A = this chain, B = another copy of it.
């Protein structure tokens, strides 16, 4: 599992759709679709149910969301801690 996968997943979850998420992520729908599919495959569980104009998270998706936020928050803290210590 990759961190970018989690960031893409969170974007889709919060945006409620792949195309909206792709705009937040500054990329195209196809990449978001591919990454989410790969994440679902690697986790072995569907994360969203694709419906007309609404992407609803599965139970797995809901559980992943809260955990993914924690991981991303932890990583953002790391990066934040190194802001301003540019010595190389």
Task: Mark A residues whose CB is within 8 Å of B.
Answer: 1-3, 40-41, 43-46, 60, 63-64, 67-68, 70-71, 74-75, 77-79, 81-82, 85-88
Contacts and interface: CB of A to CB of B under 8 A. Distances in A.
Given A45-B82, A71-B71, 7 more contacts: A1-B78, A1-B79, A2-B3, A44-B86, A45-B86, A67-B74, A70-B74
Contact of A44 (B44, B75, B87): B87
Contacts of A88: 40-41, 44-46
Given A70-B74, A71-B71, A75-B71, A44 B2 contact: no
Nearest to A3: B3
